[in-house]
Structure 1
């Protein structure tokens, strides 16, 4: 009998669909909601066999109306990325099944293998984790798939930026002017497109945070082809908001130290860094809430806005 550990549970049609992909004699013995995601419900499903052995799978279901409208594209891209990543050495989940149009489930869903480890969003041990993040991103960008994913999409425009309350209007106006310019030329790379601490799993022994290692990279729904600078800028912005602007500025250095190659001109790097920072201005509340739920209660929407303002200001100051 399946045990549901949350008030909301995996829906009956979805459970039946998962059952089609289990081995003979296996059954779902436990479901646990996974927290921290923004766009989808996530569940860990424990699968039991007759011999008493168990294994875990992860179920992602898009349930809110906005996400459902994009789910077919997102899930097809993620399924394609997971299939491509098999055997590459990049620690990604294995694809089990996908129902991108909810032909069998109540909502569009994807079933994948479970990876060991956990996300780590605290400040302790950050000086060790940042180089690990950088090396992992370099490895992702080194992939050369036979079939490229679609080109990156940058939705933020100069007209959609939300200037934080109390920010220096002149600084933000100058930053907005940066993204009015055409995108710089770039050499395409395989992008995760949402590479940041919330999508990276670590094996961290509490007594020895310096011994941390990455065990997985998840959430490949936005996989794209584009400039390495864009992935680096996205992780930089998230580090700045989680840990302070200095860590956002540090990540690009760590990426290059790990062998990654960024745009040669400072103005070109600034374009991608500013573009991602300004993109975050539109969704500060959505970003901050999961971080608080994951154990960072001090990261109020206002605090994150202030850090974003300080980070954008630091980027513009660096330009001189």
Structure 2
């Protein structure tokens, strides 16, 4: 963090309060995260975009996150409290957002994964249940892949599931009932403490769209982290928690495959921060095998 960022942060502290320390936070790949401590005993988080791609989109991403955090402040969703945002880097060397630190930690171990998946589903139902006035709704969701953009792994022993999955999303999106979506909901963006969810972070992609899309994204992540069965089981956990998915099996399969194919040809993008948090077992070979077996599982789901 540069002196310009430090000076900007200190302008948003309480009178007489100043920064006393900073440490990097691991687990992200889209931005640099810092935990800041103050003389008033507070712990804050500074998010800064430094990557060239995200610098181009930082204004929209950070402005959206600032609006969402403001909206969530009056709800029971455990989100950080917004303190300040410099989306265009008018005051910092990089576009930045300052917020409070949430309690808890990211938990990615296989041990305890089923119980955490249940808690993930419970929290996601609460997110989707938020009553958001039309004027405050975020943008309509954006698909993160398309049939012509899917890159099939060059070295795969399972080409047929890829071909079938691509064909299954080569259609108009199914009709859906719009919901407030986190849009990047997965175990890496959820904090746990005392066995329960203590925080949900990273709201830059918040969108309006089908609940199935959030469920699909979390399911894919669980499949990569813990094996295909964990991902395939997540939609049932969501409905057991009170959530509602598309009634048509073909529609649900479309959303699940659309998300899973967004990781093709591999899942290195998401696995890099997971490895930094201790999941060094998630090698490229393991991830490709799990992703392909997950695709096979989705394609084998019953039509009724």
With normalisation by structure 2, the TM-score equals 0.97
Name the SS for the 2:88 alignment partner.
coil
In the alignment, is the contact (CA less than 8 A) between 2:190 and 2:199 conserved in 1?
Answer: yes
The alignment status of 1:155 with 2:150, answered yes or no, reads: no
Match of 1:108 in 2: 95
Distance in 1, Cα, partners of 2:108 & 2:288: 18
TM-superposed deviation, 1:234: 0.1
Distance in 2, Cα, partners of 1:198 & 1:308: 17
The alignment status of 1:175 with 2:143, answered yes or no, reads: no
Alignment of 1:8-27 (within 5 A): 10-27=1-18
In the alignment, is the contact (CA less than 8 A) between 1:162 and 1:281 conserved in 2?
Answer: yes
Distance in 2, Cα, partners of 1:182 & 1:283: 25
In the alignment, is the contact (CA less than 8 A) between 2:266 and 2:284 conserved in 1?
Answer: no
In the alignment, is the contact (CA less than 8 A) between 2:144 and 2:259 conserved in 1?
Answer: no
The alignment status of 1:302 with 2:285, answered yes or no, reads: yes
Identify which of 129, 132, 143 aligns with 2:119. Answer: 132
Name the SS for the 1:220 alignment partner.
coil
Distance in 1, Cα, partners of 2:301 & 2:201: 32
The alignment status of 1:233 with 2:219, answered yes or no, reads: no
In the alignment, is the contact (CA less than 8 A) between 1:160 and 1:282 conserved in 2?
Answer: no
Match of 1:197 in 2: 187
**Residues 251-285 of structure 1 deviation map (CA, whole Å, 9 limit, x = unaligned):** 00000000000000110000000000000115611
Name the SS for the 1:159 alignment partner.
helix
Runs ≥4 residues deviating over 6 A: none
Match of 1:6 in 2: none
Name the SS for the 1:264 alignment partner.
coil
With normalisation by structure 1, the TM-score equals 0.92
Distance in 2, Cα, partners of 1:17 & 1:282: 41
CA RMSD of aligned residues (A): 1.0
Identify which of 33, 37, 40 aligns with 1:46. Answer: 37
Distance in 2, Cα, partners of 1:283 & 1:313: 16
Alignment of 1:1-320 (within 5 A): 10-49=1-40, 54-146=41-133, 147-164=136-153, 165-204=155-194, 212-282=195-265, 284-319=267-302
TM-superposed deviation, 1:160: 1.6
Distance in 1, Cα, partners of 2:192 & 2:144: 30
Q: Please, which runs of 5 or more residues in structure 1 have no aligned partner?
A: 1-9, 205-211
Match of 1:4 in 2: none
Q: Please, which runs of 5 or more residues in structure 2 have no aligned partner?
A: none
**Residues 87-109 of structure 1 deviation map (CA, whole Å, 9 limit, x = unaligned):** 20000000000000001100000
